[in-house]
A and B are shown apart, each in its own frame.
Chain A
Amino acid sequence: MANGGGDPVILATAGYDHRIRFWQAHSGICHRTVQHPDSQVNALDITPDKQLVAAAGYQHIRMYDINSSSPNAIINYEGVQKNITAVGFHEDGKWMFTGGEDHTAKIWDLRSRSLQCQRIFQVKAPVNCVTLHPNQGELYVGDQSGSIHCWDLKTDVNEHLIPEPDAAITSVSIDPMGTLMAAVNNKGNCYLWTMNANRAHGPSNLHPKKKFQAHNKYILKCLFSPDSTLLATTSADGTCRIWRTADQSLCTVLKDKSQRWVWDCAFSGDSQYIITASSDNNARLWSVNTGEVKREYSGHEKAVVCLAFRDEVVA
C-alpha cells in the first residue's frame, strides 16, 4: 500500500537524547538521525502516506520528511502548553490527533490554511494516551485520573468509564477488527472489553470482558497485533508480554537481562515479530513465537521511549 516511493518498511525511534533515528529494520543499521532540539520525544507516528514522521515533544509536534536527508524538521506544530504525549493520524491523512498534559485531546486539520477539522476535547487530568478506533470515527482518551473517554467524533457525544479508581490509564488499544478494546494502568492491570460498533449515535458499546494482572509493575503500553490474535503489554518490569486474545493466556515473555523499562512496541505486518523500545538505550526486534532477540537497534545515548513502525503485508 505504499504511496510515493521510499522504503516499504519504516522504523523510527526516539527518546530522551533529542534525536530521532531511522533504522533499516531488517538489518539493524541506523541510516539516518535527525535532531529534535530542546525537548525529548514522547511519541512518534508516521503519516499514512509514509512521507512524514511526527514527533510529539514538549509544546511541539514536529514533522520530519522521511525521504530526505535533512537533519531538521520541516513542519512545526505549536501553541500547545506542556508535553504532548500522544500523536496519530486519520488513515487518509485528513487530520492528526494529539493528547497532552494540558488536559486536552486535539484534532488538527492537516490541509494547509484549513481549520475545518480543528477540534478540542477537554478532560480533567493530563492525557496519557489517545487511540483512534479503526473505524476512524472514535477517539479513546486515557488520562492520569484513571478515566477512559470515548469520544464519538461525528456526533460529539462522549462517554467515560473508570475501570479502576486512582490508577492512571497508560495505554488503550483497539484491535483492527474493532471488536476488542484493551486498557492498561499503572498498577499492572489489564482490562478487556468487547466492542460493538452498531450504534448510530455515539461511541461503540463496551462490555467488560476480563480483568487480569499482566505485570507486577507499571504497564506502559498495550497493543493488539494486526491479526487481532495477540495482545502485547510492555512494562516497567523490563519485559514485554504477549497474550493470546482468545483466552488471555500468556504466549511469550520477551525478556533480556540488560533491558529496562519497555515503553513502546509495534508488531510486524504479519504479527510474527515485535519491536520494543527500552530505557537501556536500545530498541529490539523479537520473534513473537520464540521470544528471541532478532535485532538490536543500538545507537541512542539515552532511553528510547517511543517508536513508529510501518510494515506491509505481501500476499
Chain B
Amino acid sequence: MAMMDNVDFLISHIRNSFVTSDDTSMSEWVITECRIQDESDLRKDGNHRYNRNNHSSRSDSNSDCPSDTELKGSMDIHPDMDFGAHRRRSNTAQRLERLKKEKRTQSKIKTIAWKDGSEQYKVEEKGHLFEKKELPMALDEPDSSLLSEDVAADENDQPEAEKKTDEDKGKEKKSPSVPRSTLSQQLLEIEAHGSNPFFKYAKFDGRTAGGLATRKLDIFLTFASPEQRAYPMSIIVTATAKAQEVVGLVCWQYTQEGRKPEIKSVVGHIDPNSDLNKFSLHMAEDDGEIDTDFPPIIPTDPVSKYGFTKFALVANAPVQPKSALVTIYVPNRGYNTFQVESMTVTMRELMEKVIKRRKIKIRPGLNYTLEKAGKSEVGKPIDLDSMLGSMNCLDFYLIRENSSRGDVESNGEEDQKIAESLMSHQYKSFIVSMVHKVRTNTEVQLGISGDKIEIDPVSIKGTARLFRQKAVTYDADCVAACDITETKANGRSMFRMTYLNGHDYKHHHFEAEQSVANEIVEKVNNILELKFSPVRKEFVYSQEKKALRKRDSIKISH
C-alpha cells in the first residue's frame, strides 16, 4: 500500500480520479471552481487552505518533493475511456492494454529520430553527395523532355544508359506517335473488357477496409449450379453496410471472381442502379436452406443489425413485387395512380411525380409531404427519403405543410368512397326487409361489421309469433358473396347474400332502398375483399368454373 503524505498531491489525485471517472461531468465544474478558489487563497495569504495547520501536520514533504506538484495538472481525458464495447473496465486496465498493443506494433516499426549532422557542412567533404545531374537539354524538340522524368539513369550504370539510348532510338522512330503510359494502357484495356457493373459497391469490401469494423458473412447463392449451391460465398463487409449494399458487394465479388453463371444471365439486363431489386437477401440455415419463416431482409437495414452471419441470396425473388400500383390522393382533387417499377423508389420521387403530373406550383414556403392512408396515420408525415418498399402501404395522401387531409376530405366524393371502404369493418346496421319465398316480407335489422353479419328481427306489434324471423349471426368468414339481384322501378333493390352452411351455399334475399342496398353490398364486398376467406375463395373459384363450363357447353352446342 502506498503511503501518501503530500496533501496537495492527494487532493489533486482524488480530484483527477473523480473527474475522469464521472459520467455526468458535473463534478468537473465543481472541482474547477474549487481549484480556482484554491489558487485565489494561495495568492491572498501565500498559504494553501489545506495546509493551514501545516505546523501540526505530519506532512513535511512539500518542499522535498517538487515533482509531486507537477502532478497537479489534470490528467488527459480521452473520450474513448468510457465507451468500452462490453463491460466498462477501469481506465487503468484500458490504458495498459492500449499501451501493450502500441508496444507490440511499435516493436515491428523501426524508429529513426532526427539527428543533426555530426559536423558543419563543408563542400569539400560532402559536396559529392549533392552533385547536380545534367539534364537532357531542351533544345528544340519538346519530345526529348519525356525522357527526363523516367529515364533518370545513373551515368555509371552502363546497362541503364544503353537502355536509354535504345529508347531514344525507339522514340525517334515512332515520332510523331505519342508515347503511352502504363495507366493509359490499362484504362484502354479495362474499357475494352467492360468493367464490373457493380463497381460502386466495391468500397464496402472489408478486405481492404484497413482497420474499419468489418463482418464476415456467408452468402448462399441460390442461383448457382446445384453442386456449388452448398458452398456459401464468404464476403467481408464493412460493418455499416446496408443489406442492399451487401447484395451489391456480393454481385461485385461474384463478377470479380469470374463465377458462373454470370449475373447477367441470372437477372437479364444489368443496370446496377435498379437491378439489385432483382435480388433479395434471406436469412439462411447453416446448410444454406432459406429460412422461410422470415421475410427477406429490408434492403435499407444495416446487416449488422442481424446477429447471424448466414444469408441466402435469391435472384428474381417473387416476394419482391417488381412493380406496384401506387395511389396518391390529393385532398379535394381526386387521386393519381402510378405504376412504379421498383419498390426502391423513394417517396420523394413519387411526390415529385404527382406534383409534376398535377402541375402544382410550389411557391416558396409551401412544402408538400406525404402521409400514409388510414386514420391512424393522419398528421404523421413520412420520411420522404425512405423507399416505397419500407412503407408497407401503397396509398398515400399528398399534404401541404400546415394543412391536413381532413379539412377537405368530406368534399371529395372519391375520398368519401375510400373512407367508407376503409371503415367497412366498422359496425353499421341497416333496416331492410327480408324476402321469404312463401310468406310476406319481414323487417329485419342487418348489422354488418368486419367479422360478423347479424340478422335481428324488428318486433312489430301484431305480427304473429310464428312468422317472426329468428335472430341469426353469420361469421364473416362464412359469407361467400353479396350482390344486387334486381333493381325495381319503385326505387327499391333486391340483394342476395350467399353464405356457407355446412357444405352448401345458402342465400338470404333482402329488399331495401336502392341507396341502402348499394351501400350494404359495397360494404360487405369490401369486407370480403379484405378478408378473402377460404369460403370466399372457394366460391369465387367455383363461380369461375361454372362460367367456364357454361362457355364450353355453349361452344360444344354450336
Contacts and interface: CB of A to CB of B under 8 A. Distances in A.
B25 interface: no
A109 B74 CA distance: 40
Nearest to B256: A29
Contacts of B121: 119, 156
A179 B200 CA distance: 42
Interface in B198-213: 199-200, 202-203, 205, 208-212
A177 interface: yes
A138 interface: yes
Interface in B149-198: 149-152, 154, 167, 170-171, 174, 178-187, 189-190, 195-196
Nearest to A204: B132
A75 B174 CA distance: 43
A221 to B, nearest CB: 18
A311 B127 contact: no
Given A79-B113, A226-B149, A312 B181 contact: yes
Chain B interface size band reads 35 or more
A40 to B, nearest CB: 15
Contacts of A34: 210
Contacts of A313: 146, 149-150, 179-182
Interface stretch (A18-26, A162-170, A256-264): A18-26
Interface residues of A, number: 73
Given A272-B181, A314-B182, A178 B135 contact: yes
Contact of A26 (B116, B126, B187): B187
Contacts of A273: 181, 183-184, 187
Contacts of A6: none
A9 B182 contact: yes
A100 to B, nearest CB: 10
A31 B142 CA distance: 37
A213 interface: no
Given A75-B110, A76-B109, A313-B180, A35 B117 contact: no
B88 to A, nearest CB: 23
A8 B184 CA distance: 12
Interface string A115-139: 1111110000000000001111110
Interface of B: 105, 108-118, 121, 123, 126-127, 129-136, 138, 142-143, 145-146, 148-152, 154, 167, 170-171, 174, 178-187, 189-190, 195-196, 199-200, 202-203, 205, 208-212
Interface of A: 1, 8-9, 19, 21, 25-35, 48, 70-80, 91-92, 94-95, 106, 108, 115-120, 133-138, 153-156, 175-179, 197, 226-229, 268-270, 272-273, 294, 298-299, 311-315
Given A30-B205, A117-B130, 19 more contacts: A1-B150, A9-B182, A30-B202, A30-B208, A33-B212, A71-B210, A76-B109, A76-B111, A78-B111, A119-B117, A136-B132, A154-B123, A177-B145, A226-B145, A228-B145, A269-B150, A298-B203, A312-B181, A314-B182
9 contacts: A21-B208, A26-B183, A117-B126, A133-B132, A136-B132, A176-B145, A197-B132, A273-B187, A313-B179
